[in-house]
Amino acid sequence: MASLAFAAIAVATLCSYCSGGAQAQLQVGFYDQSCPQAEVIVRDEVGRAVTANPGLAAGLVRLHFHDCFVKGCDASVLLDSTANSTAEKDSVPNKSLRGFEVIDAAKQRLESACPGVVSCADVLAFAARDSVVLTGGSPYRVPAGRRDGNVSAAADAQADLPPPTANVAQLTQIFAKYGLSQDEMVTLSGAHTIGVAHCSSFSSRLYSYNGSTGQDPALDAALAAQLAQACPPGSDNTVAMDAGSPGTFDASYFQNLLANRGLLASDQTLTTDNATAALVAQNAYNLYLFATRFADAMVKMGGIQVLTGGDGQIRTNCRTVNAA
């Protein structure tokens, strides 16, 4: 694992994964002249936060994912609800998101150093990368230049985010909507190698799978017994996504899937399709391959429907739209 910390992933200077003029404007080193310390400031704040609370690493990766899959990577997930609108962060799928205060701290320092320069969307992309590295994943360069959106609606999050009960066909369709392949879908699912899940996201696999049996037959019986103890009916405790190494970015998530020990139905379903099962097996026993694929997939995901140039704005406070 230590070797991965020094295995820099080569990423093109321009976001070559992005199709379309706006997305292609993302660039590695975007702030080199306008705010040269931008990435250092974000890395410092993420490091402090994760040192104090290691679970925030997974939280920040998830925050970036949930931002990009709803109206693109425009930091709309960071906006607070208003008297007239319920924001994405207050939708049911996002109730358990965390890490907002880390983004706030980084943004506050950035506004002191370089007022009105660094977008909240870029802060979020940098923070997700730094979280991956801090937990043992490979470093990768983040193309930047995103601008912040002005709209955040809970209904969009409810409609666009993949549910924990999704099957492989549904997941494939959702990821394809954003230009992501099955390979990238399986790879990005590997983010579940760190962090925790609430019991409510998988309790149906324990107690109400179908009319004839309470337990999902695809779930390892020994794991099901452990989970039932940790998650009695009606509880919303949290359980490690990868019990063997919940704070380490490694390939054990995929090894667990091969042993029918995936926590979420949307994880275990990846072994039910020949194509995705083959990808799971490849990642399970080749950590370097997984880490390389993951870095590339994160860069591609980070280019989904971005705002650049004169679109959107650079928020002063990530929680609120700038005053007109």
Residues catalogued as catalytic: 66
Instruction: Encode 24-45 in three state secondary structure.
Output: HCCECCCCCCCCCCHHHHHHHH
Maximal CA-CA distance, the chain: 64
Helices 287-301, 56-68: axis angle to 10 degrees equals 50
* Structural tokens at position 65: 């994912």
Query: Element (H or E) spanning 103, and its range?
Result: helix 100-113
- 130 SS3 class: helix
Residues with Cβ within 8 Å of 120's Cβ and at least 6 positions away in sequence, in order, are: 75, 78, 103, 107, 148, 315, 318
Residue with tokens 């997305």: 23
- 102 SS3 class: helix
Burial class of residue 177 in the structure, from the number of CB atoms within 10 Å of its CB (0-12 exposed, 13-18 middle, 19+ buried) = exposed
Q: Determine the Cα–Cα distance for residues 161 and 269; give it in Å rounded to an integer.
A: 17
Query: C-alpha dihedral over 157, 248, 196, 203, to 10 degrees?
Result: 100
What Rg do the C-alpha atoms of the chain give, in angstroms? 19
CB-based contact 22:306 (threshold 8 Å): yes
CB-based contact 124:78 (threshold 8 Å): yes
Bridge partners of 30, per DSSP, are none
